[in-house]
């Protein structure tokens, strides 16, 4: 029977033995005799707490529970947990269900925690006491938080029946884990009860304390005691490693003094910082042994505690009023003048709003940004704690925490990205913990837990107001999403800014805060913010913030650009109706096939700021801005004529506020005529090319600590400041760069059985400037000596595959260094895997993908003559002559227009799958830039495969240098140029955002006969002498056949078009008294020339629809008219009469273009002999050929002004 009893009680004995062993190890120092009475007191305390629940009456000991030390919690408990010794299973289940459906509550662990509650870890000096609380045993110390503190608890051993432990988050910057002590701790030994003072304590209530503070010299009271009800508790402030807080006491009742009398007390003794956890607004206290001090910077006196001061709960029976001098009591009670903010805000009257100060009880429902101190309350309000120095309390704030906010500011419609009202605490208010959260802490994204010191800097050093701070937090989140973690780590991006080590995030967010921070924002001073009446803090007055700018992802920006481009795509706007009404279907669709839209940065609201990493694409050979969303091609220029040439910028962060977002649109449409331009279903295909143009002067370029972005490692190697540690290099001067295109290269025997495919590549020709140099430390050693014959040896460098990433940096007349990393090898720069026999080139080298490129410096080439940066230019006589056909020419020009077209006959290529189809090309019309040429000639440039699509930046209005274009002469003797594999293009300046067209010069016609530089387009005042010819046609919009009655006249009846368009032309003879010219007018200009109104011209066209063609020829003055139509037809009679009437033969103002363009190299027509009769005297003289002009517009001449009224009166 005894054996059975012993066996039955063996679990309790084992538990007791384990408990005694644990208590001895954790509560008593090693080698010290344990206090058996204390051990038994601990066990009794556990029993009493355990049995306090009725459900636990069956077991006298919590056999399922085990003791845990502080060290074991810190080292072994890696997951959040809670322990509730006195709770039953039903109680815990009800507690868990209170978190809501689907909530993840803290898991329950059966652990017993013992420890001493202290406010100073053993390894710190008393001066370092900060008001933090800790639980200590022999194994270590662990920070803790509790709901309410009694000063008598400090230094005593407790059993903690309800607690939770939260280990440190892996990403958190808030340090080690901590304890949350839910219930009132149970003392192991009874706490000593203070019997109270033997005699009542003399105290001053706030009204008398305020008098004594004001008249301190008249009635000196040594270290008085102050009593009252706590009406306000400030935040715990830390400045210059000193901590303090200010408590404000008010009268208990009106009987103790004037209603509303208050007195403030500053507490700044280190061991009294824990009082901040004890004080609760609404309760009455006594603070003993106070003195008067003067606050720094506030210039006023205030009560303060001394090292011997005590904090005692106020009990009326233990205190008495301190009697003061009667004369002192009758002193003037005029209130002291309060300092106020003297800054004038009248200029913003109507914009400035006042916040509301209130008390609020609420539950945290979300963590918006832990590091920035932003949370969501009750799913309706944003809570901002950034303007208070919340120390240990911030670690317990998570969803489920219940908070009381006292003297908190309510700000509504603050802007800056905050869509909900904001509750913001300043130093004047305080936050009180009402209950802990029962939820497990969620794993927060990295941007929410990094950067606490950076956000603190925004508030305390940059002095950001709340609207601007909220915008900064939101924007830093956008930036982190764009760059982290692949460009750089969150901790690198969100680091604190220090002298000599500026924060990358702050530099990107705002290079200068002066433009963003309001000049009326008050500079924060802690004493003033807490004590000043009326209250003045950053939240007291605010203005709604209009978002300064945003940082869209590059993908979103490209999508926005495409959306705007297609929203603005209007065929009727691209083709003005007077011109479009006479176009055939092919002309219409060709003009609509390509268009572009330039979106300057100023059109985006709010303003958009570009941010990305500058990378060089190994697949396209172009520069790109890249972030985590994607990449967008870009074209940076260092100034108005120089491209980007330094490869060290690869891998740098680029921030651009002023830029151009260019969208090139290509459509494939089948509009039959201008009448159907509004039918969107006739557009079969739409595609767009988006890229960015900006000047480096408008960009902020910042290196990143280590470029780890993307998978193209070679493009980031060159951005490393230190470069390769081992390797060799060689300097070369670029003389020419060929086009980037797909080429065929020879394959070494046995390399592959498959036929080679065209590879994207380009070739650079240049000259070696010196011998090979080897790496020596951080620089390059002296070059190897070269023979006399090898000096300035010509070289051809072939870049193919990944090496095409260097294409955007290589330009003629510049020196570069070709760097080969790795161990030195002999003749590395003299051999090639694919040697090519090139005429005039002694060395040919294929650049491996591992090699890098650097821009040469002036120190690298001290013995080389100054290198001319002038771009090669062909003389005008070479360009515009009928000689030198099929030669290569170079020139700079401004692009006037760009369209998709069929290339000239000599350039046409038949598609292999469609013998009847011709590949389209691109036609650029440019104005040549020539010195001493007032009127630049125009020239056409054709681009076809494999140079399509053209490189970015070739837009109307852009200035471009074309190198080694092939000059050709058409069968009609027109000079034009076309791209060849040797052609290279350099954009000199971007197309202007807005360009005002200069008015055409006004000239006399004789000026066009004087030779030299004459305008290609001009205006003149002249008289229409004769109508030479007139023709009106109705043609098929598809095949251009004559269409009587609007029906196509083709014999095979296979024309799919059912639409006809009108086309008209007239040739006029005009003279201005100096010369005569023939003028060709087309379409809507014909109506103007004939002096017909739009309705009259429409009637004429409708009459001409019947025959389909009306043509009149006029032989000369007094001669008869020839007509292709019957002369007696009403329309022919009308037109013949009209053309001879004064309504046509009248003075006009003519804007014209020369029919014979400067690029037309047809030999000039010689002067002819012509007979004149002067009375009876016949004359024979040479007459210059008539000028041939094309009408741009016709206007009625301006009538001379009437004489002045004063002249008439005289």
Q: How does pLDDT run across 45-90, given as a tens digit for each residue? A: 999 988 887 665 667 888 889 999 999 999 999 899 999 988 888 8
Bigger pLDDT: 745 or 117? 117
Beta strands in 64-221, from DSSP E residues, in sequence order: 66-68, 81-84, 111-118, 133-137, 140-146, 157-160, 162-166, 178-181, 186-187, 201-203
Q: Where does 28-143 have alpha helices with state H?
A: 36-50, 70-76, 89-97
- For residue 394, the 8-state DSSP code is G
Residues in Cβ contact with 67 at an 8 Å cutoff, skipping those fewer than 6 apart: 18, 19, 22, 23, 26, 111, 112, 113, 114
What string of H, E and C letters represents the secondary structure of 71-92? HHHHHHCCCCEEEECCCCHHHH
Confidence (pLDDT) at 1208? 44
Whole-structure pTM value: 0.83
Q: Which of 170-179, 236-245, 267-276, 760-769 has the lowest mean pLDDT?
A: 170-179
Which tokens belong to 170?
Answer: 């892996």
871 compared with 655, residue with greater pLDDT? 655
Q: Produce one character per residue of 172-185: b if its CB has 16 or more CB atoms within 10 Å, e if not.
A: beeeebbbbbbbeb
Rounded Cα gap, residues 745 and 799, in angstroms: 11
pLDDT given at position 872:
82
As a whole number of angstroms, the distance between CA 495 and CA 707 comes to: 17
pLDDT > 60? residue 1205 = no
Burial of 305: CB neighbours in 10 Å, binned 0-12, 13-18, 19+: buried
Rounded Cα gap, residues 1153 and 1085, in angstroms:
14
**Residue 769 near residue 792 (C-beta atoms within 8 A):** yes
Q: What is the DSSP letter of 39?
A: H
Percent of the chain with pLDDT over 90: 40
pLDDT digits (tens, 9 = 90+) for 158-217: 999 999 999 987 655 456 889 999 989 999 998 887 777 888 899 999 988 888 888 776
Residue 170's pLDDT is 67
**Residues above pLDDT 70, as percent of the chain:** 84
1113 phi, psi to nearest 5 deg? -120, 130
pLDDT level of residue 762 (50, 70, 90 thresholds): very high
The mean predicted confidence, pLDDT, of the chain is 83
φ, ψ dihedrals at 664, nearest 5°: -95, 125
Q: Of 8-12, 182-186, 442-446, 769-773, which range is least confident?
A: 8-12
Top pLDDT among 366 and 462 is at: 366
Q: Give the pLDDT mean for 408-419.
A: 87
Question: Region 98-120: what's the mean pLDDT?
Answer: 90
Mean pLDDT (whole number) for 701-727: 55
Residue 755 has pLDDT above 60, yes or no: yes
> Sorting pLDDT into bands at 50, 70 and 90, what band is 793?
confident
Instruction: Tell me the average pLDDT across 571-575.
Output: 87
């Amino acid at each position: 029977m005894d054996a059975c009893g012993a066996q039955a009680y063996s679990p309790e004995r084992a538990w007791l033995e384990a408990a005694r062993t644990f208590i001895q190890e954790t509560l008593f120092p090693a080698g010290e005799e344990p206090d058996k009475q204390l051990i038994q007191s601990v066990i009794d305390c556990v029993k009493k707490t355990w049995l306090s629940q009725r459900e636990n009456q069956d077991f006298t000991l919590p056999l399922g529970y085990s003791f845990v030390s502080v060290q074991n919690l810190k080292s072994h408990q890696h997951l959040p947990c809670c322990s509730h010794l006195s709770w039953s299973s039903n109680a815990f289940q009800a507690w868990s269900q209170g978190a809501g459906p689907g909530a993840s509550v803290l898991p329950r662990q059966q652990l017993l925690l013992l420890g001493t509650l202290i406010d100073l870890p053993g390894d710190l000096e008393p001066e370092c006491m900060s008001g933090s609380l800790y639980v200590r045993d022999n194994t270590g110390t662990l920070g803790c938080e509790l709901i309410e503190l009694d000063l008598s608890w400090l230094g005593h051993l407790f059993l903690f029946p309800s607690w939770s432990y939260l280990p440190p988050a892996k990403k958190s910057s808030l340090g080690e884990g901590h304890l949350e002590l839910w219930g009132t701790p149970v003392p192991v030994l009874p706490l000593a009860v203070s019997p109270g003072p033997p005699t009542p304590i003399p105290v001053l209530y706030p009204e008398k304390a305020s008098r004594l503070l004001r008249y301190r010299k008249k009635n000196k009271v040594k270290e008085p005691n102050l009593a009252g009800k706590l009406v306000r508790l400030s935040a715990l402030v830390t400045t210059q490693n000193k901590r303090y807080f200010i408590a404000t006491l008010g009268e208990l009742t009106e009987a103790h003094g004037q209603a509303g009398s208050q007195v403030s007390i500053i507490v700044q003794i280190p061991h009294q910082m824990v009082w901040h956890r004890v004080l609760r607004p609404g309760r009455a206290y006594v603070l003993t042994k106070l003195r008067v001090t003067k606050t720094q910077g506030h210039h006023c006196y205030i009560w303060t505690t001394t090292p011997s001061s005590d904090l005692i709960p106020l009990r009326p029976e233990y205190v008495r009023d301190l009697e003061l001098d009667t004369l002192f009591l009758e002193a003037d009670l005029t209130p002291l003048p309060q300092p106020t903010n003297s800054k004038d805000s009248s200029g913003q009257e109507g914009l400035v709003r006042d916040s509301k100060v209130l008390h609020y009880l609420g539950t945290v429902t979300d963590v918006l940004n832990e590091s920035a101190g932003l949370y969501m309350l009750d799913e309706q309000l944003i809570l901002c704690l950034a303007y208070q120095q919340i120390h240990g309390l911030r670690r317990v704030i998570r969803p489920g925490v219940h908070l009381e906010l006292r003297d908190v500011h309510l700000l509504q419609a603050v802007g800056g990205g905050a869509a909900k009202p904001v509750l913001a605490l300043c130093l004047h208010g305080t936050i009180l913990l009402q209950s802990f959260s029962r939820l497990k802490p969620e794993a927060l994204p990295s941007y929410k837990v990094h950067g606490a010191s950076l956000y603190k800097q925004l508030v305390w050093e940059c002095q950001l107001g709340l609207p601007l701070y909220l915008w900064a937090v939101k924007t830093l989140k956008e930036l982190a999403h764009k760059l982290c973690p692949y460009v750089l780590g969150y901790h690198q991006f969100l680091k604190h800014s220090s002298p000599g080590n500026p924060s990358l995030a702050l530099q990107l967010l705002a290079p200068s805060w002066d433009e963003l921070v309001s000049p009326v924002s008050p500079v924060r001073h802690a004493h003033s913010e807490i004590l000043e009446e009326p209250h003045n803090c950053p939240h007291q007055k605010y203005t709604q913030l209009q978002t300064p700018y945003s940082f869209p992802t590059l993908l979103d920006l490209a999508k926005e650009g495409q959306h705007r481009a297609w929203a603005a795509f209007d065929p009727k706007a691209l083709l003005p109706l007077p011109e479009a009404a006479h176009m055939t279907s092919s002309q219409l669709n060709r003009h609509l096939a390509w268009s572009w839209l330039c979106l300057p940065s100023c059109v985006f609201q709010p303003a958009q700021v570009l941010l990305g990493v500058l990378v060089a694409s190994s697949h396209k050979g172009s520069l790109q801005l890249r972030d985590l969303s994607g990449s967008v091609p870009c074209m940076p220029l260092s100034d108005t004529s120089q491209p980007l040439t330094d490869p060290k910028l690869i891998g740098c962060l680029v921030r651009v506020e002023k830029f151009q977002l260019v969208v090139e649109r290509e459509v494939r449409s089948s509009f039959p005529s201008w009448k159907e331009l509004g039918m969107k279903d006739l557009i079969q295909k739409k595609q767009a090319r988006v890229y960015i143009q900006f000047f480096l002067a408008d960009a902020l370029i910042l290196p990143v600590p280590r470029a780890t972005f993307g998978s193209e490692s070679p493009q980031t190697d060159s951005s490393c400041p230190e470069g390769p540690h081992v390797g060799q290099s060689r300097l070369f001067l670029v003389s020419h760069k060929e086009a980037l295109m797909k080429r065929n290269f020879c394959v070494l025997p046995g390399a592959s059985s498959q036929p080679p495919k065209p590879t994207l590549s380009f070739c650079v020709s240049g000259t070696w400037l010196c011998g090979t140099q080897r790496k020596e430390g951080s620089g390059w050693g002296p070059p190897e000596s070269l023979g006399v014959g090898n000096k300035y040896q010509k070289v051809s460098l072939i870049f193919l595959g990944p090496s095409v990433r260097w294409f955007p940096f290589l330009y003629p007349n510049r020196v570069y260094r070709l760097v080969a990393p790795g161990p030195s090898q002999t003749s590395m720069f003299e051999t090639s895997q694919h040697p090519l026999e090139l005429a005039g080139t002694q060395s040919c080298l294929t650049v491996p993908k591992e090699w890098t490129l650097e821009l040469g410096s002036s120190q690298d080439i001290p013995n080389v003559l100054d290198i001319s940066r002038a771009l090669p230019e062909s003389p005008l006589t070479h360009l515009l002559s009928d000689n030198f056909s099929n030669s290569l020419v170079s020139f700079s020009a401004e692009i006037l227009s760009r369209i998709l077209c069929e290339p000239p006959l000599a350039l046409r290529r038949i598609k292999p799958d469609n013998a009847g189809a011709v590949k389209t090309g691109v036609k650029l019309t440019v104005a040549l830039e020539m010195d001493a040429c007032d009127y630049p000639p125009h020239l056409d440039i054709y681009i076809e495969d494999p140079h399509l699509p053209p490189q970015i930046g070739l837009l109307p209005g852009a200035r471009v240098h074309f190198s080694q274009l092939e000059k050709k002469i058409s069968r009609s003797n027109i000079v034009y140029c076309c791209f060849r594999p040797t052609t290279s293009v350099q954009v000199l300046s971007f197309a202007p955002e807005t360009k005002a067209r200069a008015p055409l010069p006004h000239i006399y016609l004789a000026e066009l006969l004087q030779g030299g530089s004459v305008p290609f387009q001009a205006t003149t005042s002249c008289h229409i002498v004769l109508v030479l010819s007139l023709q009106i046609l109705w043609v098929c919009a598809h095949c251009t056949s004559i269409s009587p009655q609007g029906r196509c006249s083709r014999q095979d009846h296979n024309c799919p078009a059912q639409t006809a368009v009108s086309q008209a032309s007239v040739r006029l003879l005009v003279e201005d008294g100096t010369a005569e010219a023939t003028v060709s007018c087309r379409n809507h200009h014909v109506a103007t020339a004939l002096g017909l109104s739009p309705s009259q011209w429409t009637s004429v066209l409708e009459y001409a629809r019947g025959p389909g063609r009306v043509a009149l020829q006029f032989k000369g003055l007094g001669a008869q008219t020839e007509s292709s139509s019957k002369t007696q037809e009403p329309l022919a009679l009308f037109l013949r009469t009209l053309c001879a009437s004064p309504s046509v033969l009248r003075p006009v103002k003519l804007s014209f273009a020369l029919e014979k363009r400067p690029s037309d190299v047809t030999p000039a027509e010689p002067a002819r002999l012509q007979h004149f009769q002067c009375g009876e005297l016949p004359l024979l003289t040479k007459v210059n050929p008539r000028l041939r002009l094309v009408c741009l517009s016709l206007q009625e001449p301006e009538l001379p002004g009437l004489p002045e009224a004063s002249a008439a009166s005289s």
